[in-house]
A and B are shown apart, each in its own frame.
Chain A
Amino acid sequence: MRPKPDPNSLERVRRLQDGTATEDDSRWLFARYYRWVLGYFLRRQVPEHRAEELTQDTFLQMFREIGTFRGESTFESWLFAIAANVLRNERRRHGQEMRNAPEVPLDATPEDAPPLEIAADQPSPERAAFEEQRRQALGRAIAELPPQMRQCFVLRRERELKYREIAALLKISIDTVKAHLFQARQRLKADLGEELGPWKET
């Protein structure tokens, strides 16, 4: 759970921003939130030694960017947004390292052997044109959905988010998400049916 907004923190942040802070202000802020931030990384299955390093990175970034904090969010939300960003970069770096790992060669084929060719199942030109027309029609229809309905549809179809994730991201209820997705399907089916003709019964 995020710590509750603490007015004492804001006072110290203000002093750090206007240059009247002492080392004790920095130490206080660190001590105030250290366990929260460390716990955040540990709960996300970051190994303990790495969680400690990411905690240090988070606070370093916080102190470095403290001059940019305008008070639009709570200080606690801002700190945890920095931590989430640090975690995202860590996961991205970890994924990047995995992608850059040396590939294990398959059993070698003779160098003089011709490369394997896989015959593609190529549609006919007419079919390809029809498919492209459908895709463009769908794209237009999605773009014409009401904003929140469209956002729900895109997050569900393209990002494959769960209902509660969509609700959290758009700050609406899960029931509203479900309603939007149902109505989006109905509207798209109706709008595209006009353009593409009657749908095949399933």
Chain B
Amino acid sequence: MSRPKPEFDELLRSHPRDSRHEPAEHPAPEELAAYHDGRLPPERDAAVREHLVSCEGCGAIVLELATLGEEPEEPARGTADFAAAAAWRRQRRRLREHQLLPAAGPRIHRAWLVAAALALVSLGLGSWVTSLKQTVDELRRPQVDPPLVSLSPLGAERDPAAAPDSVTLPPGARAWLILNLAGNVELASYRADFTGPDGRVLWTLDGLRRTPAGSLRLELPGDLPAGEVRILLSGPGGPEHDPVAEFRLRVVRP
């Protein structure tokens, strides 16, 4: 009986589809990941590649890693933070059950942090109290007839070229300032910026209110430097947005 001529494609089709044998040992996930990353030395790379040809499971893992690079950005932009926090609490419980959770943190380290924080707060409080005490002492010190300076705004009521009113302030002395605003628009509150000759703001006072007489009364700070001071009066928006009036004063320090 003569042998029939074989057909090549028929022969290929007859080749068993599942002729491979599942290997007994498999590379660790890290080795598969390193293979995918191209970080294995040539011999191990070749060995893993050969394994992947016969092992469907390991091949599937490498294919998964390969397809990850083609996928869009992670979709969890909409995942609320509280969901992640809740997930961490569940994970934390499991890690604790499996004794895989590290310690919360070195207790002694935390204690030192708390102690240092308390020390800083104490220092800050102490220095604030001292300064407060000094202020109170200063205010308690009796002063007979503190000077009272009444100023009129520059412009219609006062010639800008004229010499400013002056006030003599010995060290630690107080003085009262009256800013006359007759005829000026009524605002709920005012702001006064004291500036030196160089334009630097020396002092700012907010929330000033008119007296029944229509003027503003304020106490001059004891540490104003000697020299000419511009007093810019404005509404709550400040001198740039809410200007009201300008005054001049010369401080004399004996």
Question: Which of A's residues lie within 8 Å of B, judged by CB?
Answer: 1-3, 16, 21-27, 30-31, 34-36, 38-40, 42-43, 52, 55-56, 59-60, 63-64, 68-70, 72-74, 77-78, 80-85, 87-88, 126, 130-131, 134-135, 138-139, 142, 147, 151, 154-155, 157-160, 165, 168-171, 185, 188-189, 192-193, 196-200, 202
Q: Which of B39-55 contact A (CB under 8 A)?
A: 39-40, 46, 49-50, 52-54
Residues of B within 8 A of A197 (CB): 3, 5-6
* B73, chain A: closest CB distance, angstroms: 6
CB distance from B106 to the nearest CB of A (A): 8
Contact of A26 among B57, B61, B95 (CB under 8 A): B95
Q: Is B156 an interface residue (CB 8 A)?
A: no
Please name all residues of chain A whose beta carbon is closer than 8 Å to the beta carbon of B87 when the two chains form the complex: 30, 34, 38, 52, 55-56
Q: Does B171 contact A (CB under 8 A)?
A: no
Q: B56 contacts which chain A residues (CB < 8 A)?
A: 159
Tell me whether B102 and A169 are in contact (CB under 8 A). Answer: no
Does B7 count as interface, using CB distance less than 8 angstroms? yes
Whether B74 is near chain A, meaning CB under 8 Å from some CB there, is yes
CA distance A78 to B30 in the complex (A): 5
Name the one of A55, A154, A171, A193 contacting B20, with C-beta atoms under 8 angstroms.
A154
Please tell me which one of the listed residues A78, A157, A171, A196 contacts residue B15 in the complex, with CB atoms under 8 A apart: A157
Instruction: Give Cα A72 to B108, complex, Å.
Output: 36
Chosen A-B contacts, 13 in total, with CB atoms closer than 8 Å, are A22-B102, A22-B105, A23-B92, A31-B88, A34-B76, A34-B84, A72-B33, A72-B39, A80-B68, A87-B64, A197-B6, A199-B6, A199-B7
Contact of A199 among B8, B74, B84, B105 (CB under 8 A): B8
Query: Are A165's CB and B6's CB within 8 A?
Result: no
Chain A residue at smallest Cβ distance from B56: A159
Min Cβ gap A118→B in Å is 22
CB of B103 closer than 8 Å to a CB of A: yes
| Docked pose: A142 CA to B73 CA in angstroms | 42
- Flag whether B65 is at the interface (Cβ < 8 A): yes
Q: How far is the CB of A122 from chain B (nearest CB, A)?
A: 16
Task: Say whether B14 contacts A77, CB under 8 Å.
Answer: no
Minimal beta-carbon separation of B37 from chain A (angstroms): 5
Once the chains bind, are A158 and B18 in contact (CB under 8 Å)? Answer: yes
Roughly how many angstroms separate A184 CA and B17 CA in the complex, as a whole number? Answer: 17
Complexed CA–CA distance, A170 and B63 (Å): 10
Seed contacts A55-B87, A87-B64, A202-B7; 18 additional CB < 8 Å A-B pairs = A2-B68, A22-B102, A25-B102, A27-B92, A35-B76, A43-B75, A73-B31, A130-B3, A138-B11, A138-B12, A142-B15, A154-B20, A158-B19, A159-B56, A169-B66, A192-B11, A199-B7, A200-B7
Bound together, the chains give a CA A108 to CA B29 distance in angstroms of 49
The secondary-structure label for the interface of chain A is helix
Pick from B15, B40, B60, B79: contact of A138, CB under 8 Å: B15
> If the complex has contacts A157-B12, A169-B63, are A70 and B30 also in contact, measured as CB distance less than 8 A?
yes
A23 touching B105 by the CB < 8 A rule? yes
Cβ of A159 to closest chain B Cβ, rounded Å = 7
Contacts of B162 in A (CB 8 A): none
Report the bound CA distance from A193 to B95 in whole Å.
Answer: 63
With A2-B68, A78-B29 as contacts: A24 and B105 at CB distance below 8 Å: yes
Q: How far is the CA of A30 from the CA of B8 in the complex (A)?
A: 56
Q: A109 to B167, alpha carbons, bound, how many Å?
A: 123
A-facing mask of B1-27, CB < 8 A → 1, else 0? 101111111011011111110000000
- Bound Cα distance A3, B17 (Å): 37
